[in-house]
Structure 1
Amino acid sequence: MTISSIAPSGAAATGKHGGAGTRDRRWNAAVVVGAVAVIAVAGFSRRWIADDGLIYTRAVEQILAGNGPVYNVGERAETSTGTLWQWLLALAGVLGAVDHVSTAAVYLGLALTSAAIAFGVLGAQRLRGSWTVPAGVVVVLATPPMWDFATSGLETGLAFAWIAGSWWMLVRTRDGRGGLFWLAFVLGLGPLVRPDLALVSIVFLIAMGLLHRPRAATTFGLLAAAGALPVAYQVFRMGYYGVLVPLPAISKEAGTSYWSRGVLYFADLFATYWLWVPVAVVLVFGLRHGVSRADRVLVFAPVTAGVLSWLYVVKIGGDFMHGRMLLPGLLLVMLPFFCLPKPARRPSRAALSLVLAATAAFSVLSPRPLLSPGVPESGIMDERAFYVAKVGAPNPDSVTPFLAEAHAEAARIAGADRELVVIGRDLSFPLSAERTNRVGVVWSVLGTAGATTPLDEQVIDPLGLSYPLAAHLEPQPRQRAGHEKVLSHTWITADYGAPTEENAAARRALACGELAELQASVRAPLTWGRFVDNVLGAFARTSLRIPENPVEAERRFCR
């Protein structure tokens, strides 16, 4: 007997006892509605957009203006880590549903997070049978960072919806519902939702194979369906941007290891809320009650993917936003335990209820006992609290409060003429004669910089999220996650400013060898020949690193 031929226990119960089946369906529907209502209300009450969310909006505005998926006109840099999120926001902009892309990012994120909770509950109910009680979903809903990143303008809402929706579709195929090729196509979208979700795609695709045991020819077809869009986009990325990954992955050195900082990041979430207690309790109850042999693949696939996701985040050193990068793993590990069969023994029911009630109460009454709005020594910060305090709005859910807070910087940018303006410091430099734009803005707060600077002017990010030259710097001694690289003014003036004796070595280095080729790959006109050269050189270009010292760079590239 194959797994796909096994009917869910709830279906049998409904057929034999119509009244009981009706009550079960009503109860299950109430659980779905209640869970979605909780995350919708919590997310709406804490709605906001992060400065990093505004990075997406400038790229989307460039698309809508006809300039292509870039951050600055004239330089092909992929600033959007979540490819599908960028294009989904572009679609929202084309439809004109809201006044500004930033507003669409906030409310679309909330809708997708709510959909993720619904998919998770529905999948767990189908997996577990006719009468289930909320368990793992309570842990997810009671975790305060989920309330923040239900919006934020980042790709997290889409990631939640893709994870839970993919698992829900996988569970449905157990009962012969849903086409395998359509499922394979959806499972393959992981790296386009966010590159690190390729791990989840791989695990889920393996689970689909174990669940259905397709023939060899069908397997090749399913793999083709899964890889069609990601492979096509990867070829486009290599030819258009000249590298293998989005620019932030290069800037943040997403392939390196920093285990000690990663462990600190993991502990920052789990110790702050004592999250390991409810997670462990739910796992113990979930694995001891109601897991049939036939369902093990559906249970262990998301758990395995979640653990791998956590390991990857810990390996690379975590993130600077409290909890953010660990939330997909938490959702994955809890998914098959969102709802559980009611424990048969009364003491077990009481213990599970007590732990979940205590978890919810602790989170509501003391959501951030160890955090403050400032930047702590660990570098891990409450990003929402920081920007609420910075822009002075309880719910900064659009670009407007960011622009209001940056009015002095906007006035300085508007008054500049043929200048390289350094925001945050009383510095400016003349632009080089080769530059045709009116102003170049050097500003490390990239989202606000992009919102404040006109689309046809240059935003120069010394951290490298939108500036290939800075992204390819050799990493400096580790500080906050994602902030290890800061391009000096010597390099920036050599690239954008007038020639000086100070930047002479940097100017010579920029004209030599691999460094000159890096510049050409993103700035030369995109002819067919340039596209092919970009594709062929993408592997070497992605691993290219530039010494911080211009003299050393000159020796290396101009030998």
Structure 2
Amino acid sequence: GVSAVLWIGTIIWAFFAANTTGMPEGSVVGRSGIVDERAFYALNTGHKHPILAEDYLDYPRMRAMVETIARTPEGGLLLPSASYDSWFVVPPPGPLEEPAEHVVFFLNLGMTSMNVGLDVRVLDQMGLAYPLAAHTERLEDGRIGHDKNLYPDWVVADTGMIDVRPWLPFFLDEDWVADAKLAITCPETQELLTSYRSELTWARFKQNFQQAFDFAKYRFDRVPAYELERCGLVTPEPPK
């Protein structure tokens, strides 16, 4: 009967679904913006089924990240370098009575978080785990889910790490970091940060509820100098 036909059809469909690769590789992002994520990570880790934390230590930069954290007990901000075997570390201001925390700024949140301790903060430039990045203006025609990109200068400013050379990596600019430190004081941005960083009291809950729509639509410019202009703040004078 009809049920038998449906049952046989389901079996045939399941067989082909289990043995057909919808996207032949994981290294090309098509016009749709969709990529075979499993194939991508299998290719880049060298593991056929990368499901364990240790599998992702073979992903570029992951093993180096773990080793860098172990070598810097004083803490610091880890920024990825062009090399897959090293990270830049922006140190905290010292001297410190106790070690500062480590902060990792990297796109791939899952594999990073799986391979660090709970005392390490993991932030991303897209804003999935970093509200500051999430509230930047969207990159026009950017790939969905990858259409925001917060500059690392903001993270140096936000985490309070040393913001001058020679401790800054070569690709960061002291003036940009100085602008970001001032731009982050924009009252609207401070309200946003306070909404999730302050203690969750009953008063805070009510205020967040009342301002939920305002917080949701708030956006700022990811270029610090442009954000200073948008917020009406004065650009700091360069050091003489």
Give the shorter-chain TM-score range. Answer: 0.7 to 0.9
In structure 2, what is the equivalent of residue 398 of structure 1? 52
Structure 2 residue 81 is matched with structure 1 residue 427: no
Instruction: Report the CA distance shift for 1:369/1:506 in structure 2 as closer, same or farther (over 3 A).
Output: closer
Q: Deviations over 1:202-242 (max 9, x none)?
A: xxxxxxxxxxxxxxxxxxxxxxxxxxxxxxxxxxxxxxxxx
Q: Deviations over 1:311-366 (max 9, x none)?
A: xxxxxxxxxxxxxxxxxxxxxxxxxxxxxxxxxxxxxxxxxxxxxxxxxxxxx3xx
In structure 2, what is the equivalent of residue 100 of structure 1? none
Instruction: Report the CA distance shift for 1:506/1:376 in structure 2 as closer, same or farther (over 3 A).
Output: same
Q: Provide the rounded CA distance (Å) in 2 between the counterparts of 1:464 and 1:432.
A: 26
Answer whether contact 1:431 1:440 (CA < 8 A) is retained: no
Q: Deviations over 1:139-198 (max 9, x none)?
A: 763564xx5xxxxxxxxxxxxxxxxxxxxxxxxxxxxxxxxxxxxxxxxxxxxxxxxxxx
In structure 1, what is the equivalent of residue 162 of structure 2? 498
Letter in 2 for 1:411: E
Letter in 2 for 1:540: D
Q: Provide the rounded CA distance (Å) in 1 between the counterparts of 2:203 and 2:14.
A: 51
Aligned-pair distance for 1:472?
0.8
In structure 1, what is the equivalent of residue 26 of structure 2? 373
TM-score normalised by structure 2 residue count: 0.76
Letter in 1 for 2:71: G
List aligned pairs for 1:6-21, cutoff 5 A. none
Aligned-pair distance for 1:548?
1.6
Q: Provide the rounded CA distance (Å) in 1 between the counterparts of 2:162 and 2:152.
A: 12
Moved more, 424-433 or 539-548: 424-433
Answer whether contact 2:54 2:115 (CA < 8 A) is retained: no
Answer whether contact 2:135 2:218 (CA < 8 A) is retained: yes
Structure 2 residue 20 is matched with structure 1 residue 388: no
Aligned-pair distance for 1:137?
3.5
Aligned-pair distance for 1:543?
0.7
Aligned-pair distance for 1:545?
0.9
List aligned pairs for 1:200-211, cutoff 5 A. none
Structure 2 residue 213 is matched with structure 1 residue 539: yes
* Aligned residues: CA RMSD: 2.8
Structure 2 residue 9 is matched with structure 1 residue 134: no
Instruction: Report the CA distance shift for 1:436/1:412 in structure 2 as closer, same or farther (over 3 A).
Output: closer
Larger Rg: 1
Answer whether contact 1:424 1:443 (CA < 8 A) is retained: no
In structure 2, what is the equivalent of residue 16 of structure 1? none
Aligned-pair distance for 1:387?
1.2
SS at match of 1:134: helix
Q: Deviations over 1:498-548 (max 9, x none)?
A: 345421221122112110011111111222211111111111101111112
Answer whether contact 2:180 2:224 (CA < 8 A) is retained: yes
List aligned pairs for 1:20-59, cutoff 5 A. none
Q: Provide the rounded CA distance (Å) in 1 between the counterparts of 2:137 and 2:192.
A: 15
Letter in 2 for 1:133: V
Q: Provide the rounded CA distance (Å) in 2 between the counterparts of 1:369 and 1:511.
A: 48
Q: Provide the rounded CA distance (Å) in 1 between the counterparts of 2:30 and 2:108.
A: 20
Q: Provide the rounded CA distance (Å) in 1 between the counterparts of 2:145 and 2:16.
A: 24
In structure 1, what is the equivalent of residue 69 of structure 2? 413
Q: Deviations over 1:111-142 (max 9, x none)?
A: xxxxxxxxxxxxxxxxx8xx542266357635
Q: Provide the rounded CA distance (Å) in 2 between the counterparts of 1:459 and 1:431.
A: 16
Aligned-pair distance for 1:495?
0.7
Instruction: Report the CA distance shift for 1:490/1:389 in structure 2 as closer, same or farther (over 3 A).
Output: same
Answer whether contact 2:125 2:149 (CA < 8 A) is retained: yes
Structure 2 residue 112 is matched with structure 1 residue 449: yes
Answer whether contact 1:461 1:467 (CA < 8 A) is retained: yes
In structure 2, what is the equivalent of residue 469 of structure 1? 132
Instruction: Report the CA distance shift for 1:455/1:370 in structure 2 as closer, same or farther (over 3 A).
Output: closer
Structure (1 or 2) with the greater helix fraction: 1
Q: Deviations over 1:469-515 (max 9, x none)?
A: 00111011323321111110111111112345421221122112110
For CA contacts below 8 A with separation 6 or more, give which structure has more relative contact order.
1
Q: Provide the rounded CA distance (Å) in 2 between the counterparts of 1:412 and 1:375.
A: 31
Q: What percent of counterpart residues are identical?
A: 30
Letter in 2 for 1:415: R
Answer whether contact 1:432 1:499 (CA < 8 A) is retained: no
Answer whether contact 1:515 1:557 (CA < 8 A) is retained: no
Unpaired segments of 5 or more residues in structure 1? 1-23, 25-127, 148-363
Answer whether contact 2:23 2:36 (CA < 8 A) is retained: no
Q: How many residues in Structure 1 have an aligned counterpart in Structure 2?
A: 211
Structure 2 residue 141 is matched with structure 1 residue 478: yes
Answer whether contact 2:137 2:222 (CA < 8 A) is retained: yes
Answer whether contact 1:494 1:504 (CA < 8 A) is retained: yes
Q: Provide the rounded CA distance (Å) in 1 between the counterparts of 2:41 and 2:57.
A: 13
